[in-house]
Homo-oligomer: A and B are copies of this chain.
Amino acid sequence: MSTPKPPVRPPGERTRTRRPGRPSGDGRDQRERLLDAALAHYADHGVAASRLRAIATAAGVTPAMISYYFGGKAALLEAVIEERLLPVVGEIRGHLEGRDNDAGALVEGFVGGMHATIERHPWLPRLWVREVLSEGGALRELLVNRIAEQIPRRLAAAFAQAQQSGRLNPDLDPRLLVVSLVGLTLFPLAAAPLWQQVFDSDDLDTTALQHHTLALLTRGLETDHAP
């Protein structure tokens, strides 16, 4: 299990002289690197399959540093949630600011916001498929208990109000419209490597996807519409 093989050694702390069990001078930097490495491992291998040793190696520190900074596996995940995931949720929420009274503007803000956020944080769709969408995923409770209030329920309430005032297609369900928006943003961005192969479509980038998505949401399949 723990045969002491020399790990691949990135340049940095591992080669410096330091007292065991104590972080070297750039402790803040080490801690940040551990959070980034953990996040990358969660997205690539899943939370359950991520090994502390591999995360430490990727961050260029010893596994003992994870205990030092975080205490253990569960606390590392909690720190990644607080310091990496929830700020990204905040970014997406930021794209909705000041649009609560206009369903069309909210939809545009959400679609544009998801695209912009995923461009800045390309690991997001992979992590979402593994840990939110998959049954038994480690982040499902996070969505239901902490994210739902910030984005999905808030959007659904605004859509319901727009519909009551006659400013939204009355045949839509305001809650399911939120589900549709996720299915038209996070899903196609997560599935991009697949549909690019299926359609041999390297010409389609995320700008094309965003244009298509807004056209579909605004007008549906119609060839023309009266304003």
Pick the residue among B107, B126, B156, B176 that contacts A221 (CB under 8 A): B107
Q: Report the interface size class on chain A.
A: 35 or more
A141 nearest CB neighbor, chain B only: B197
The A119-166 residues at the B interface (CB cut-off 8 A) are: 126, 129-130, 132-135, 140, 143-144, 148, 152-153, 156, 166
CB neighbours (8 Å) of A201 from chain B are 175
The residue among A104, A176, A215 with the most chain B CB atoms within 10 A of its own CB is A176
Inter-chain contacts of A134 with B (CB < 8 A): 129-130, 134
Complex CA distance for A81 and B192, rounded to whole angstroms: 24
**Contact between B225 and A225, CB atoms less than 8 A apart:** yes
A185-226 interface mask toward B, CB cutoff 8 Å, 1 = contact, 0 = none? 001101101110111010010001101110111111111011
Listed from nearest, the 5 A-B pairs whose CB atoms lie closest are: A171-B215, A183-B183, A226-B226, A220-B220, A183-B187
